[in-house]
Chains A and B, each alone.
Chain A
Amino acid sequence: MLNSRRTSVDRSEKKSVNNQKIITMLAMNYRGPFRVRADEKPRPKIEHPEDAIVKVLRSCICGSDLHIYHGMVPDTRVGTTFGHEFVGVVEEIGPEVTKLKVGDKVIVPFNISCGKCAFCKQELYGNCHESNPQATAVGGIFGYSHTAGGFDGGQAEYARVPYANVGPTIIPEGMDLDDAVLLTDVVPTGYQAAEMGGIKLGDTVVVFGAGPIGIMAAKCAWLFGAGRVIVIDNVNYRLEFAKNYSQCEAYNYEEIGDPVEFLKKTTDWLGADVCIDAVGCEAGGQGMQTITGRKMMLQSGSSTALQWAINSVKKGGIVSIVGVYGPTGNLVPIGNVVNKGITIRANQASVKRLLPRLIEHVQAGRLNPKGIITHRIPLENVAEAYRIFSDKLDNCIKTVLIPPTVRT
């Protein structure tokens, strides 16, 4: 048993199982595709000397959570708690944790990074090699299936946070928790999408997808000096939101005919300088992709957005991918990538690397992350929260779950 330091408050009920006292907490519990509930589960414990236990103050449902909610990510086991976007207060620390203390309020990056492997040392914190034994293609991610390390996530009252010396960042004095929770994934991923686009001053940037990440990528494209930003989606209320929040043009692909032709026409028939795929494996818009990717699962989801990005970008342009795809393969026009000399850049956001700059942007008022939050829902109602976000009900853009521990 590891030595650990913890606060004295234990509000959760205690249950006796096999004569052992188990302290429980409320947590989201995955029961199968489209089926989740809030359950009492054992509270996490320190399992590694660099662990911290964090009492969750806010957690979000991410668009990529929907891929596991829909049963599209292999090795998503029943009983898993999702949630890779959360902030909280440090409740307990392991004996090797030196950079945090009990009571610190922290932003917890969605990727779990050791800080010691060759990848972390080069700031590829999203590609850590010491946080996922089940797969080498992806680093550890909170609450994102056993393919991403099998860690429980933050849609709970408490979460185990490995490598607490590396990832968690203390929330600056005065920063709103709603802003802080969006710095765990949405803002860094949107920002890195724009950063990977290598945007030159005056560039035309097209963002596919008007979900939270697409909206944030469009907003961040201006920070890199874009001259024109266009968002493409098929959900009108989201396009309207993107237009206002990200100060960009927004078009419904169901109303403009062939989106590739439309984008060529509106860029003097050359194509956009930079295209960003902020959709991933559940894109609509093309029957063949939808049937083979989403219905029959013959490929790792539908790659319509990526196909459009490749075909809409100019020759020698850059395609930046932050949309999530599964591990097997997708049908994309790779011949066009070669013939047009396109550069494709992609990665999971390196949250730890980006946080200092993004905190500056938030504090200076250049970014207003909490402006995308439309729903605040008690953790107990997690099933409804997922349904609202998944089915885009009630003009939902971003959902925050509030644990009961915080409300009392």
Chain B
Amino acid sequence: METLKSEYSHIKGWGIDNDPQDEPNYPMKHYTGDDHMRIRWKRPTLQKVDVELLLSTERPTPSAVFGSKNPPRGLSGMIRRYAFRHSENEFKHWLPLLLADRVDVIEGMIEDLVHMKFPRVVKERGWYALAKHAPGILARKIGVRLAVVAAIAGLGTYKLAKS
């Protein structure tokens, strides 16, 4: 405080009303002044970067540890790389990531098929639980899906017949 005081001695009244007890974040934050060290803390050992890591533009280096599973892949990976060119402040970052997630789902299905694993949608969606505890809701879900498929098929047939 005294060092800072001398640094700002040219400003009359600098810090005169400062109250260290007035910490709106307390008790979540036990203020130590470490904030003013900025990023000059003693960093932990750094995890070896041996997968493609997409890095936020808002930090200069990777964090010391990170998850190494599921690196970007395929088309979804290309979209993710585009997203990470933009800061977290921008929709251009987040919206492409949501799009990439949806593309990733399709890539996941293809990956399953390549490995001769056929998507078990009923099981994966937990519909056995619905059948047991809420058969009415399950019937409604199936009904809506059948109606959508029928509508699309009907529209397709109609257009085909018309042409």
Q: B121 an interface residue at 8 Å Cβ cutoff?
A: yes
Q: Which residue in A96, A136, A137, A387 is a CB contact (below 8 Å) of B45? A: A96
Q: Would you list 21 pairs from A and B whose C-beta atoms are within 8 A, ordered by A residue? A: A35-B105, A50-B65, A71-B101, A71-B102, A75-B83, A75-B97, A78-B104, A81-B69, A116-B41, A121-B41, A122-B35, A124-B29, A133-B63, A140-B65, A140-B67, A149-B65, A151-B67, A327-B88, A328-B94, A383-B123, A384-B129
Q: B108 an interface residue at 8 Å Cβ cutoff?
A: yes
Inter-chain contacts of A302 with B (CB < 8 A) = none
- In the complex, per-residue mask of A277-295: 1 if CB is within 8 Å of any chain B CB, else 0: 0000000000000000000
Known: A149-B67, A393-B129. A117 touches B41 (CB 8 A): yes
In the assembled complex, the Cα of A195 lies from the Cα of B68 at a distance in Å of 35
- Chain B proximity of A336: nearest CB distance (Å): 20
Which residue in chain B gives the minimum CB-CB distance to A79? B70
A116–B35 CB distance below 8 A: no
List the interface of chain B (C-beta within 8 A of A).
24-25, 27-32, 34-35, 37-39, 41-45, 47-48, 53-56, 58-59, 62-70, 76, 80, 83-84, 88, 91, 94, 97-98, 100-102, 104-105, 107-109, 111-112, 119-121, 123-130, 133-134, 137
Inter-chain contacts of B39 with A (CB < 8 A) = 118, 129
Known: A136-B59, A137-B88. A122 touches B32 (CB 8 A): yes
A116–B44 CB distance below 8 A: yes
- Chain B proximity of A305: nearest CB distance (Å): 21
Which residue in chain A gives the minimum CB-CB distance to B96? A74
A74–B98 CB distance below 8 A: yes
In the assembled complex, the Cα of A286 lies from the Cα of B134 at a distance in Å of 25
- Chain B proximity of A395: nearest CB distance (Å): 9
In the assembled complex, the Cα of A387 lies from the Cα of B38 at a distance in Å of 45
- A contacts with B, residue count (CB < 8 A): 71
A-B CB contacts (within 8 Å), total count: 200
> Which of A75, A195, A353 has most chain B Cβ within 10 Å?
A75
Q: A386 an interface residue at 8 Å Cβ cutoff?
A: yes
- In the complex, per-residue mask of A57-98: 1 if CB is within 8 Å of any chain B CB, else 0: 000000000000001001111111100000000000000100
- Chain A proximity of B47: nearest CB distance (Å): 4
B104–A77 CB distance below 8 A: yes
Q: A56 an interface residue at 8 Å Cβ cutoff?
A: no
Inter-chain contacts of B128 with A (CB < 8 A) = 383-384
